[in-house]
């Protein structure tokens, strides 16, 4: 028998018989390695454990607990689900079953209308197949064989997939017991390697994502390598559902949506209070570092967007109108308006940097299926700023923006990471300016000692950018702040300032947002704090609860004093039981409840119950007021 050379990651080479499998190679190293592995990476391509290697190759053994091993396990979970469905519902036709984040799904065509009550039965059958430990075997077939197999089954879904495959492409079928499925693979060696999974939900899905095609039933599942990991994920899902900003937004009366304005939030008083606090917090910090606040029109002439470059790169996401036979567009961004303001007067180099900020309402068209509460909307407020600088000021100004970002995010307890995005394919401008811009951003990141991820080709069309990703209480990542360096728009708008040689030269523009979208940031905060906002941000900071009507006068006296100190306070004078009033205030997640009775009046005191705590304590009213004012002032 002829032999082949197998090269290992450490550079060593060993001879094996031609047709050796990754499984046999792993076993030759150690039996324990074979037990923990699920595949081989042969010349960079994933091979099933039992697939023969026919020529000299390099190999890496793929462990099941690796990223690739987990994805293979999840792919095999999809086949496990399909086999269980075939056993329980013989008429089922299988569409596609890909891997997704944290699991898998399978789209199927069947006469039985699946409900959540069916999922435990299907899981039980899946468990049975796992216990059977069926080998999962790869089989190559010709196009003609594949068509013949699925024509006999009258399976129109698989036939369509086969016919759409490019000529000459290898076609593979994977078998496990009586079940087989058209699939590229690879898969784990046997069904016994599948450990921890749970079917999550059922939904409708158009075949191949095309609304002109038939509607199929989609079954979603989660899959992990251990029950512990699965349980942690299920707990995460449960916690995320409790924190869902759409649910809490309704319960806490923060915002609403209406069919009269799809994807456009209506702020209720509580939500508007939070939004105002967010704006004022940022506004004050910006004032301290010499930003000037401006406001630009919601709608401007279409030619402005053609001039800025947004028309070529963004018009499909814009809204348009016509007034007096002139075409106008709702602004999707604030930049062009700020360019016009800068151009409104002559600037000297002594004026720069010019820091121009706006809480600007923008409109962007999103498909209805993409809308998601406050996270994805069609109109939102950007905390936008444009800083007009000399080339020499670029790096120092960007460092100042970093300080501002850090101050704001640390106030909310957000950790963050950064990402540098470079020139995209649809960019405008010459190579020299792009290289200069990207170099400036890299210099700042390196000077600040920031670890950053390089995201090639994902910059804005007018310049490279640094994006900030915050992590919420559930460790989910959200991209919010951004710093974008722009040499292009000053050219487009013919912006100039007079330099020290009395020459007109171009400024450079730094685009900057920190919340990004205030609406989206609010949605993130709702989930981050689970609706229990820190005292300074809470819509109602204090709830006064008199024990009976005779204590109302004292409550009104305290309310008047707290309002004088700008504390947001309400009184509950309803004829309800004390326990009911306290529970309701807890449900509204109000930071402080003050119970007022005879003893409190006598001692000019308050009985304080803090949100989330069972115990209460009686303190003097002045001590409580000083404490809460300190929390508000210190943004706690």
Torsion angle of C-alpha atoms 143, 149, 153, 154, degrees rounded to 10: 30
Of the chain, the percentage scoring pLDDT greater than 70 comes to 100
pLDDT tier at 424, thresholds 50, 70, 90: confident
pLDDT of amino acid 437:
82
- Residue 112 bears catalytic tag: no
**Is-contact 462 488, C-beta < 8 A?**
yes
593 has pLDDT over 80: yes
pLDDT at 1: 63
Helix (H) or strand (E) holding 197: strand 196-206
How far is residue 362's CA from residue 328's CA, in Å, rounded to a whole number? 14
- Mapped onto helix, strand or coil, the DSSP state of residue 630 is helix
What residues have CB less than 8 Å from 33, skipping those under 6 apart?
26, 27, 61
Catalytic residue chosen out of the listed positions 465, 506, 581, 588: 465
- In this prediction, residue 454 carries a pLDDT of 86
Give per-residue pLDDT as tens, 302-351. 888 888 887 877 788 888 888 888 989 889 899 999 999 999 999 999 99
- pTM here is 0.83
Catalytic pick among 187, 364, 378, 625: 364
Q: How does residue 599 score in pLDDT terms, banded at 50, 70 and 90?
A: very high
What pLDDT digit, counting tens, does each position of 521-580 carry?
Answer: 999 999 999 999 999 999 999 999 999 999 999 999 999 999 999 999 999 999 889 889
The structure tokens listed for 310 are: 């947004």
Q: What is the largest CA-CA distance in the chain?
A: 101
Does the structure show a pLDDT above 80 at 429? no
Residue 203 pairs with which residues in a beta bridge? 218
Task: List the Cα angle 174/180/185 in 5-degree steps.
Answer: 25
Residue 369: per-residue pLDDT: 81
pLDDT of residue 122: 97
What was the pLDDT predicted at 14?
92
Examine the pLDDT at 371 and tell me if it is beyond 90. no
Q: 30-39, 161-170, 284-293, 579-588: which has the minimum mean pLDDT?
A: 161-170
Share of the chain above pLDDT 90, in %: 80
Any idea what DSSP says for residue 214?
P
Reply yes or no on whether 453 is catalytic.
no
Phi, psi of 198 (to 5 degrees): -155, 135
- Alpha helices (H) in 254-309, listed in sequence order: 269-288, 302-308
Secondary structure of 509-537 in HEC code, one letter for each residue: EEEEEEEEEHHHHHHHHHHHCCCCCCCCC
What 3 state SS string does 395-444 have?
Answer: HHHHHHHHHHHHHHHHHCCCEEEEEEECCCCCCCCCHHHHHHHHHHHHHH
Mean pLDDT of the region 98-107: 94
Quote the strand ranges of 241-352, DSSP E: 255-256, 266-267, 292-293, 299-301, 320-323, 326-330
Mean pLDDT to the nearest integer, 417-443: 83
Among 79, 193, 198, 511, the active-site one is 511
What's the pLDDT tens digit per position in 206-248? Answer: 998 888 899 999 999 999 999 999 999 999 999 999 999 999 9
The mean pLDDT of the chain is 93
- 381 in active site: no
Mean pLDDT along residues 37-54: 94
Query: Which residue in 183, 335, 381, 480 is the catalytic one?
Result: 335
Residue predicted with more confidence, 219 or 488: 219
CA gap 299, 329 in Å, rounded:
5
Whether 150 and 159 have beta carbons less than 8 Å apart is answered as: yes
Q: Are 447 and 398 in contact (CB under 8 A)?
A: no
> Within a 10 A sphere around the Cβ of 45, how many other Cβ atoms?
9
**CA 218 – CA 155 distance, rounded (Å):** 17
* The pLDDT of residue 38 is above 90: yes
Residue 335 known to be catalytic? yes
- Known catalytic residue: 382? yes
Average pLDDT of the residues in 110-130: 96
Average pLDDT of the residues in 150-178: 91
Residue 278 CA to residue 393 CA, distance in Å, equals 29
Q: What average pLDDT score do residues 97-103 get?
A: 93
Alpha carbon distances (Å) from 499 to 291, 390, 489: 22, 9, 19
pLDDT band at 434 (very low <50, low <70, confident <90, very high): confident
The catalytic position among 275, 347, 386, 551 is: 386
Asked if 364 is an active-site residue, the reply is: yes
Pick the catalytic residue: 382, 484, 488, 541?
382
What are the tens digits of pLDDT across the range 391-412? 899 999 999 999 999 999 999 9
- Cα–Cα dist 519/275, whole Å: 8
Find the angle CA(574)-CA(576)-CA(579) to the nearest 5 degrees: 125
């Amino acid at each position: 028998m002829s032999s082949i050379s197998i090269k290992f990651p450490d550079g060593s080479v060993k001879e094996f018989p031609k047709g050796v499998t990754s499984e046999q190679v792993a076993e030759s190293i150690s039996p324990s390695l074979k037990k923990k592995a699920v595949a081989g990476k042969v010349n960079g391509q994933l091979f099933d454990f039992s697939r023969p290697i026919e020529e000299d190759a390099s190999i890496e053994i793929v462990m099941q607990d690796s990223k690739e091993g987990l994805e293979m396990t999840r792919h095999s979970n999809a086949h496990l689900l399909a086999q269980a469905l075939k056993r329980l519902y013989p008429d089922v036709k299988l569409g596609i079953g890909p891997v997704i984040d944290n699991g898998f799904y399978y789209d199927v065509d069947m006469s039985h209308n699946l409900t959540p009550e069916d999922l435990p039965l299907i899981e039980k059958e899946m468990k049975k197949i796992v216990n059977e430990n069926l080998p999962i075997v790869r089989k190559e077939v010709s196009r003609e064989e594949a068509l013949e197999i699925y024509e006999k089954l009258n399976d129109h879904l698989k036939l369509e997939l086969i016919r759409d495959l490019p000529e000459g492409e290898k076609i593979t079928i994977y078998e496990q017991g009586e079940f087989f499925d058209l699939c590229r693979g690879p898969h784990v060696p046997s069904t016994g390697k599948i450990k921890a999974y749970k079917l999550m939900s059922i939904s409708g899905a158009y075949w191949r994502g095309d609304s002109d095609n038939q509607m199929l039933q989609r079954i979603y599942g989660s899959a992990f390598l251990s029950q512990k990991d699965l349980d942690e994920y299920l707990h995460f899902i449960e916690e995320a559902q409790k924190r869902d900003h759409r649910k809490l937004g309704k319960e806490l009366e923060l915002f609403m949506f209406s069919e009269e304005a799809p994807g456009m939030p209506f702020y209720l008083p509580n939500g508007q209070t939070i939004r105002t606090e967010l704006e004022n917090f940022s506004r004050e910090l910006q004032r301290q570092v010499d930003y000037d606040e401006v406001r630009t029109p919601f709608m401007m002439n279409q030619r402005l967007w053609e001039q800025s470059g947004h028309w070529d790169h963004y018009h499909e996401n814009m809204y348009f109108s016509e007034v007096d036979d002139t075409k106008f567009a709702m602004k999707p961004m604030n930049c062009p308006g700020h360019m016009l303001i800068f151009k409104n007067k002559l600037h000297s180099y002594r004026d720069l940097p010019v820091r121009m900020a706006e809480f600007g309402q923008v409109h962007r068209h999103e498909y209805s299926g993409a809308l998601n509460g406050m996270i994805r909307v069609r109109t939102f407020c950007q905390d936008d700023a444009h800083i007009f600088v000399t080339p020499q000021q670029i790096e120092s100004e960007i460092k100042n923006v970093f300080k501002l970002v850090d101050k704001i995010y640390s106030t909310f307890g957000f950790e963050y990471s950064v990402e540098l995005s470079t020139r995209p394919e649809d960019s405008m401008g010459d190579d020299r300016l792009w290289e200069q811009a990207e170099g400036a951003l890299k210099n700042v990141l390196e000077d600040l000692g920031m670890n950053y991820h390089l995201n090639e080709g994902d910059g804005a069309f007018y310049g490279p950018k640094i994006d900030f990703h915050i992590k919420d209480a559930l460790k989910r990542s959200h991209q919010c702040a951004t710093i974008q360096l722009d040499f292009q728009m000053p050219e487009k708008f013919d912006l100039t300032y007079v330099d020290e040689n009395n020459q007109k030269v171009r400024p450079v523009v730094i685009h900057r947002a920190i919340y990004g979208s205030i609406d989206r940031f609010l949605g993130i905060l709702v989930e981050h704090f689970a609706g229990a906002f820190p005292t300074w941000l809470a819509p109602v900071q204090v709830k006064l609860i008199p024990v009976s009507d005779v204590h109302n006068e004292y409550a009104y006296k305290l309310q008047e004093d707290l309002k004088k100190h700008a504390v947001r306070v309400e009184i509950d004078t309803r004829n309800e039981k004390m326990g009911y009033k306290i529970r309701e205030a807890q449900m509204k997640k109000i930071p402080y409840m003050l119970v007022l009775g005879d003893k409190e009046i006598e001692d000019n005191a308050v009985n304080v119950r803090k949100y989330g705590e069972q115990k209460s304590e009686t303190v003097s009213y002045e001590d409580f007021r000083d404490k809460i004012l300190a929390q508000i002032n210190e943004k706690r």
